[in-house]
Structure 1
Amino acid sequence: MVVPHVVAGTRLADLLPLLETDHRVQVLFTVHGATHGTEEFVRGLGGHVLPWHQAVGHRFDLVLAASHRGLDELHGPVLALPHGAGALKSRSKPRRGGTFPVHGLSRDRLVRDGRVLASAIVLAHHDELRVLAEACPEAVPAAVVAGDVCLDRLLASVPYRDHYRRALGVGPDERLVTVSSTWTRHSTFGAHIGLYGALLDRGERVAAVLHPNVWSVHGSRQVRAWLPREVLVVPPDEGWRAAVVAADAVVGDFGSTTQYAAAAGRPVSVVPIPDGLLRPGGLADLVYRVAPVVDPDRPRVEDAVVVPGLADAISSCVGGAGAATRRAVYRLLGLAEPARAVPVSPVGVPRVVG
């Protein structure tokens, strides 16, 4: 498993139960790049970590990746999957005279020196396959529409909502608002940091879920110092799904966490963002079409709504991602799949950063 940053690492960690108990397989990790916190995250998983200079000198039976960084330097068949909600991005990029949509299935991401990097490109939805056929047709034979393991684990966690609320110290008569933020200057944390205090002033319990890049750029001490001490700050590696399930309402932006919250059936409202920021028809656009926009100074979370259809918009294989992904893994390994069923485990109880 090649981990260039914590976001990719958390997605790959969801794959570990699919193969690590097989005595025929040993899982090794390597860290590519020097993003703050990545090395600590990987070592916290408890696996054997190979230095990058050693990893590039060996051939592996399979390389698992949730980013395309460094894949052209590694040797072995590659299974690549997205590290957010789907392979298609939700934002448009500015250019002279307007904006243009971006996505993760472009030729410049998937091809190096005329060769498709990945032997298997895991897609969450059939719509992504159509985009891939237009953007990089030579990569279509590698495509596997397998759904979203992260989403499946989130949905499997919903029955344990009360358990997560108790772990967060939220009483049965208290309302918990989980505030999600991606990492750009237009994000909740970047543009509306006063929202956390405004919600506390209304008497809400507040949990903060921040994109790992926020932690990498600013450091945990600074992040915690900028937020009111009453906020339940969820660490970047895990806990965000439990905090989403535990919430009575989620306030978010255009990041994947907001989309996953909507897919889990949580009432959602969104923060203001500039016009033209979102890719039309993208997952964030679907949320912003339905969810009310909050006033960050006077937020009314009771106006939050359930956004229908997001689970099916994210995944064409809801509930079956683990099985489909394991088939692809074992096909590339050249091994028969284990006879045991594929687990879809709920996430663990959340903790908070003190």
Structure 2
Amino acid sequence: MPDCERVLVVVHTVAFAQRLREAYCLLEADLRIQVVFTVAPHAFGGGVARYLESLGIATVPWEEALRAEFDLVLAAGSRGVHELNAPVLRMSHGAGHIKLLTDTSLLAPGETRAPGMLSRQHLLHEGRVGPAAIVYAHERDLEELALSCPEALGVAHVVGDPCVDRIVAGMPRREEYRRALGLDEGQPFVVVTSTWGPTSTFGRIDALLPQLLSQLPGDDYRVAFLFHPNIFSGHGSWQVRSWLAGCRGRGISVVPPEADWQSLLIAADWVIGDHGSLTAYSTLTDAAVLLTPGPRREIAAYSPAALLATVAPVVTPGHPLDEQLRYAARQHRPGQYAQVAALLSSVPGEFHQRMRTLIYSMLELGEPANAALVPPLPLPAPLEQWEAGSLGMAQ
């Protein structure tokens, strides 16, 4: 296509790819813009090429992207993007800024640990702010940024959170999603969420799995595992499913990392999760939330996960799990987690319009003459398609 503005989308991981999709889809149908994709090196990059190919996306090699010129770069990670020949728009890939910086070797004496998108280590390159624009979900993020990396305030923008907007918009379709999943009317549905790392739900699955298998009546409850894509990338799908082989024929589904997960949170009656983003997003739904024991020292004190840990009940091995679920359901009240949900976005419903305005401003183009609407969530696949037994060890 001649005379196009060229936008490069840099994808490091499947989780980053899913978040970036909320941004580059805002450029659909604009013949003035060509979107180019590349896969950047990353330790958890497994499955990225396959995910992009499933969307019909062609990629250029990373080395070629480094040599080429673009008008704008969209990225959700920091690795290698300073080498690209274009201004970079950096966006986060989760709910708030939960996990504190793990590599403290580069911290100056007395410097406090901050989450990645608020840390100097992730935002500065050779002492200068790397991105031309950094987008945040909440005004409070700017307050924290002023403490951790004030140099970046000049390029920081509050645009909201796309997952917040899509979950809220999808809530009226809850029964439709439940039917698509194959749930019977009123059938109890439990979603187990996990971030990645040794302190995650998956890292401690040996404690939770026996409770799920032995204490939930299989004919009554349906269970779905929503695991962070880094778990599948780090261990491989075969190994993950091998560890979960005992779930076969027990009404437990393992949702693949590339699937749209928001509709499952909306459909859930309970969410059992850790300090990861999906547990925080579940506070936007009608589900009762139960937490697995988490590492408080790894969580930013001002994050949604930290607040949730003070108000949500915690799963314990000393009581039958179905009794704990019933207790959480009896205690659950509408708006119980409203304060947590309010930390996810200070401009709910506005991400797509604000993000599109920022992108077009950076491209120095006029926006299309139509509103940027929140795209509806697709109907999920039936849970039977993802059941541990039907997936098979050949995969």
Q: Do the two structures share a fold, i.e. TM-score over 0.5? A: yes
Q: CA deviation at 1:261?
A: 0.5
Corresponding residue SS for 1:56: helix
Match of 1:325 in 2: 355
Q: Write the letter of the residue equivalent to 1:214.
A: I
Q: Write the letter of the residue equivalent to 2:54.
A: G
Match of 2:145 in 1: 132
* Alpha-carbon separation, structure 1, partners of 2:316 and 2:115: 30
Corresponding residue SS for 2:338: coil
* Alpha-carbon separation, structure 2, partners of 1:57 and 1:94: 30
* Alpha-carbon separation, structure 2, partners of 1:265 and 1:277: 28
Q: CA deviation at 1:91?
A: 4.5
Query: Does residue 115 of structure 2 align to residue 103 of structure 1?
Result: yes
Match of 2:49 in 1: 39
Match of 1:210 in 2: 227
Normalized against structure 1, the TM-score is what? 0.93
* Alpha-carbon separation, structure 2, partners of 1:83 and 1:95: 21
Match of 1:247 in 2: 268
Q: CA deviation at 1:312?
A: 1.7
Q: Deviations over 1:311-347 (max 9, x none)?
A: 3211011000111111110001110011111120222
Q: Deviations over 1:246-297 (max 9, x none)?
A: 1011010000000001133422110112453433232111111000001246
Name whichever of 193-202 and 118-127 sits farther off. Answer: 193-202
Q: Write the letter of the residue equivalent to 1:67.
A: G
Aligned structure 1 segments of 4 or more residues deviating by more than 4 angstroms: 91-96
* Alpha-carbon separation, structure 1, partners of 2:87 and 2:229: 28
Unaligned residue ranges in structure 2 (runs of 5+): 1-8, 106-110
Q: Write the letter of the residue equivalent to 2:14.
A: V
* Alpha-carbon separation, structure 2, partners of 1:344 and 1:245: 16
Match of 1:14 in 2: 22
Q: Write the letter of the residue equivalent to 1:113.
A: E
> What is the alpha-carbon root mean square deviation over aligned residues?
2.1
Corresponding residue SS for 1:14: helix
* Alpha-carbon separation, structure 2, partners of 1:101 and 1:117: 19
Query: Does residue 325 of structure 2 align to residue 316 of structure 1?
Result: no
Q: Write the letter of the residue equivalent to 1:320.
A: E
Query: Does residue 234 of structure 2 align to residue 221 of structure 1?
Result: no
Unaligned residue ranges in structure 1 (runs of 5+): none
Corresponding residue SS for 1:72: helix
* Alpha-carbon separation, structure 2, partners of 1:117 and 1:265: 40
* Alpha-carbon separation, structure 2, partners of 1:111 and 1:281: 22
Q: Match for 2:306 among 270, 280, 285? A: 285
Match of 2:326 in 1: 302
**Cα distance change of structure 1 residues 92 and 288 upon mapping to structure 2, 3 Å threshold:** farther
Tell me, yes or no, if the aligned pair for 2:104 and 2:113 is still in contact at 8 Å.
no
Q: CA deviation at 1:302?
A: 2.3
Name whichever of 233-242 and 294-303 sits farther off. Answer: 294-303
Query: Does residue 380 of structure 2 align to residue 350 of structure 1?
Result: yes
Q: Write the letter of the residue equivalent to 2:361.
A: R
Q: CA deviation at 1:100?
A: 6.0
Q: Match for 1:267 among 288, 292, 300? A: 288
Normalized against structure 2, the TM-score is what? 0.84
Q: Match for 1:169 among 177, 182, 196? A: 182
* Alpha-carbon separation, structure 1, partners of 2:343 and 2:161: 11
Q: Write the letter of the residue equivalent to 2:152.
A: A
Corresponding residue SS for 2:30: coil
Name whichever of 254-263 and 28-37 sits farther off. Answer: 28-37
Matched residues, percent identical? 41
* Alpha-carbon separation, structure 1, partners of 2:112 and 2:285: 30
**Cα distance change of structure 1 residues 5 and 232 upon mapping to structure 2, 3 Å threshold:** same
Tell me, yes or no, if the aligned pair for 1:253 and 1:270 is still in contact at 8 Å.
yes
Tell me, yes or no, if the aligned pair for 2:101 and 2:119 is still in contact at 8 Å.
no
Name whichever of 328-337 and 150-159 sits farther off. Answer: 150-159
Name whichever of 283-292 and 131-140 sits farther off. Answer: 131-140
* Alpha-carbon separation, structure 1, partners of 2:156 and 2:296: 33
* Alpha-carbon separation, structure 1, partners of 2:317 and 2:53: 38
Q: CA deviation at 1:8?
A: 0.5
Tell me, yes or no, if the aligned pair for 2:304 and 2:341 is still in contact at 8 Å.
no
Q: Match for 1:155 among 143, 147, 168? A: 168
* Alpha-carbon separation, structure 1, partners of 2:189 and 2:359: 39
Q: CA deviation at 1:20?
A: 2.0
* Alpha-carbon separation, structure 1, partners of 2:119 and 2:294: 26
Number of matched residues?
Answer: 351
**Cα distance change of structure 1 residues 169 and 155 upon mapping to structure 2, 3 Å threshold:** same
Tell me, yes or no, if the aligned pair for 1:154 and 1:346 is still in contact at 8 Å.
no
Q: CA deviation at 1:113?
A: 2.1
